[in-house]
Amino acid sequence: MKMLEGKVAAVTGAASGLGRAMALAFAGEGMHAALADVDEPGLKSTLNEVQSRGVRAFAMRVDVSRYQEVESFCSKAIAQFGATHVVCNNAGVSPLGAVWENTLADWQWILGVNLWGVIHGVRAFVPRLLAQGEGHVVNTASVAGLISPPGMGAYNVTKHAVVALSESLYHDLRLRGSPVGVSVLCPAYVPTGIADSERNRPRELLNPAKSSSKEETMLKKAVASGKLSADDVARAVVAAVKEERFYVLTHPRIKGAIRARMEDILDERAPRNPLAL
């Protein structure tokens, strides 16, 4: 989609971080915006900033783990603007720890947001994009969808699944001769609010034994020290949509770890720790 001005972007997880940055980047291209998040104060702030770019926008509280809420968001976007063109399935959370330490609540929460949120977005929006014969889907995964760092197994599971879902979506659309594009975003550490996602965990999925872990401390330090900003990543997403590019790898230095994983698979050897390479 080379021409974005006057079209419509729908963004989940738009209250902060990459979602907010993508909403502003697309607004800077002259796109109208439909914004979703569970963080209503942050969502309102993003809405005000988007509207200050001179485009139309609306914001809606949406829990992406619930299909009916995503479907309602999609329906409202179409009712407001007549269509959507770029769909960013971006909402994400990050409970950490060794895989045997994650509670059922941890798994339900992260799978509900990181994976089911993308599934729900695809199911709600893609049939409309197919019908209108135009559009582009951006699914936010992570470099953790291409490698498997220790201490974040549940997160890795969801992000690997998003990469696989996105690749399958791309193939399915091509087999049907559809012009609808797909990109999967796989950034490394970026200074965002992902390390503080516990603030938005539903009450019924709280982990009463949760305490600050070594992994969480390391994640917050790594996220804060990220060399690229959320705005840098958002600009890369806009470029990928215009170029109809599938993989969006924003941190070239991580490609060594990705290559090492592929080599370990092909050589049938135990995986090397990607954080030690």
Q: 10 Å Cβ neighbour count for 231?
A: 16
pLDDT at 95: 83
Q: What is the CA radius of gyration of the chain?
A: 18
Q: Could you confirm whether 247 is annotated as catalytic?
A: no
Residue 55 lies in a domain: yes
Q: How many domains does the chain have?
A: 1
The reported pTM is 0.89
Residue 39 lies in a domain: yes
pLDDT at 213: 56
Q: Residue 11, SS3?
A: strand
Of 235, 273, 236, 239, which is closest to residue 256 (Cα–Cα)? 273
143 phi, psi to nearest 5 deg: -60, -20
Q: CA 58, 63, 64, 66: dihedral to nearest 10 degrees?
A: -120
Residue 149 lies in a domain: yes
pLDDT at 203: 66
pLDDT at 193: 53
* CATH number where 101 lies: 3.40.50.720
Cα–Cα distance for residue pair 122/137, rounded to 1 Å: 8
Residue 3 lies in a domain: no
**155, 170, 189, 247: the active-site residue:** 155
Residue 237 lies in a domain: yes
243: which residues sit within 8 A by CB, 6+ positions away? none
Which whole-number Å values give the CA distances from 192 to 56, 114, 135, 147, 206, in the listed order?
A: 25, 16, 27, 20, 22
pLDDT at 220: 45
Residue 2 lies in a domain: no
- Where the chain has pLDDT below 70, the residues are 190-226
Q: Which domain holds residue 46?
A: 8-276
Residue 93 lies in a domain: yes
